[in-house]
Amino acid sequence: MPKLKNSLPKYRKHRASGQAVVTLKGRDFYLGPHGTKASRCEYDRLIGEYLASGRSLPANYHDSDEITVVELCARFMRFAKGHYQKNGRPTQGENVFRWGIPQLKRLYGRQSVSAFGPIALKAVRQSMIEDDLARSTINDRVGAIVRIFKWGVAEELVPPTVLQSLQAVQGLQKGRSEARESAPVRLVSDEAIQATLPLLPPVVASMVRLQRLTGMRPNEIVQIRPIDVNREGDVWSYRPHEHKTEHHERDRIIFIGPQAQGILGSYLDREPDAYCFDPRESEKLRRIDQRRRRKTKIQPSQQDRSKAKPKRTPKEKYSTTSYRRAVHRACDKAGIDRWSPNRLRHAAATEIRSKHGIEAAKVILGHSNLATSLIYAEDDLKKAESVAREIG
């Protein structure tokens, strides 16, 4: 088939960035958010200059090979998609960048990377404040933007002086900016836990009780397997095959005492590499309970109501999201404020610190320094009240 010599370069969507793009003489030009009037106008302008120059790039596009901010973001996200993975699955690390890029692209997407400086970074940060993001969230996203430029320096896409100037911008400080403060994560009371437990599926209720006793992270509780639990001695030890700090080459050991053993023990009688807390078992128990509570006679056509090809089927293990949703549903049924499984860790941390000290909390929670344990373990107000009473 003969090559079409008079066809125009197409207006396309760049999937990685969501931007409109056109390729002229082997070079990609990013036009703004795909489908917008502004990006169409930019396309028309570039095509007009391209045709006026005899189907070649205008002279002002030959002077520099420097890339734009949106091109830098697109290249970085291609890198991040393969880099921020654990065991073949994307991690939250990639999302931090994905969530921080939109304001940057909207304000400075078509600007060259060398022209992006501290004032521009502060303008992006101000747009995040106007979007009512929390101060800590804004600092995380601004930090992610600086890391994108740092990667660009390593790839020789960004001048080193640009990174140096961006690193001079300090993060927002508490009480010294217009950004709102995020609500601190508080421990969940034992009263709230007890009100929720009867309304949880039995499997999830066991997960809640076990997490409250051990102080595990939600991601650690959902992935317990018999092969990961050493049952020698009076205190068991559990080594998660995946954990939060494994990329720092740190080991994670969770100790399981007698009470926790009583909860976990009944879930260990299965294949060594099978997950202890299986949503399929939970769904099976739910259906059995529905049949038990049924008051009308079961008709022959109702003996098996399972679908041949259901749209959704339970997976082999809970995710942290499905675990949290199960707890939220039970809270709604109980008529109490919603609490999430990560607050069980706070409750365990506070109790351990109160009874055994901050060093014990540090070891049990798997922290590398005491400062992190202080974040999780809230002050024991009853102890402070008692001291005040004694000293008058």
- At 280, which CATH number? 1.10.443.10
The Cβ of residue 333 has, within 10 Å, a number of other Cβ atoms equal to 13
CA distances from 369 to 185, 360, 378 (A): 20, 12, 16
> Residue 129: which domain range?
69-166
The answer as to whether 140 is a domain residue is: yes
Residues 142 and 249 in one domain: no
The answer as to whether 207 is a domain residue is: yes
Residues 57 and 74 in one domain: no
Whether the per-residue pLDDT at 175 is higher than 70: the answer is yes
Whether the per-residue pLDDT at 303 is higher than 80: the answer is no
Residues 76 and 142 in one domain: yes
Residues 141 and 123 in one domain: yes
Each residue of 194-218: pLDDT tens digit? 999 999 999 999 999 999 998 888 9
Give the residue from 151, 166, 181 where a domain finishes.
166
Residues 196 and 286 in one domain: yes
Instruction: Please name the helix (run of DSSP H) or strand (run of DSSP E) that holds residue 33, with its range, or none.
Output: strand 27-33
The answer as to whether 307 is a domain residue is: no
Give the residue from 150, 166, 182 where a domain finishes.
166
**Tally of structural domains, the chain:** 3
Residues 219 and 282 in one domain: yes
pLDDT bin (cut points 50, 70, 90) of residue 67 is confident
Which span out of 162-176, 178-192, 250-264 was modeled with the highest average pLDDT?
Answer: 162-176
Lowest mean pLDDT across 240-244, 311-315, 338-342: 311-315
pLDDT bin (cut points 50, 70, 90) of residue 63 is very low
Cβ atoms 207, 263 nearer than 8 A: no
pTM over 0.75: no
Report the pLDDT value the prediction gives residue 1, as an integer from 0 to 100: 46
What proportion of the chain, given as a percentage, has pLDDT over 70?
77
The Cα 206–Cα 276 span in angstroms is 11
pLDDT bin (cut points 50, 70, 90) of residue 299 is low
For 46, the token pair is 């570039």
The answer as to whether 202 is a domain residue is: yes
Residues 46 and 111 in one domain: no
Each residue of 23-44: pLDDT tens digit? 887 778 888 888 888 888 888 8
The Cα 188–Cα 196 span in angstroms is 11
The answer as to whether 118 is a domain residue is: yes
What proportion of the chain, given as a percentage, has pLDDT over 90?
33
The Cα 196–Cα 190 span in angstroms is 10
Report the pLDDT value the prediction gives residue 310, as an integer from 0 to 100: 60
Question: Is the Cα dihedral 320, 336, 329, 351 positive or negative?
Answer: positive
Cβ atoms 72, 152 nearer than 8 A: yes
The Cα 201–Cα 199 span in angstroms is 7
Q: Burial level of 240, CB count in 10 A (0-12/13-18/19+)?
A: buried
Report the pLDDT value the prediction gives residue 368, as an integer from 0 to 100: 59
Query: Average pLDDT over the chain, rounded to whole?
Result: 81
Report the pLDDT value the prediction gives residue 7, as an integer from 0 to 100: 82
Each residue of 93-104: pLDDT tens digit? 777 788 878 889
Lowest mean pLDDT across 43-57, 118-132, 320-334: 43-57
The answer as to whether 298 is a domain residue is: no
Residues 54 and 129 in one domain: no
The answer as to whether 382 is a domain residue is: no
Residues 243 and 332 in one domain: yes
Residues 236 and 102 in one domain: no
Cβ atoms 368, 245 nearer than 8 A: yes
The answer as to whether 306 is a domain residue is: no
The Cα 78–Cα 180 span in angstroms is 33
Residues 242 and 146 in one domain: no
Residues 206 and 105 in one domain: no
Each residue of 248-287: pLDDT tens digit? 556 788 889 899 999 999 999 999 999 999 888 877 777 7
Burial 20-45 (b: 16+ CB within 10 A, else e): bbbebeeebbbbbbbeeeebeebbee
Cα dihedral: 67, 72, 75, 80 (round 10): 160
Sorted by sequence, the CB contacts under 8 Å of residue 270 that are 6+ apart come out as 226, 276
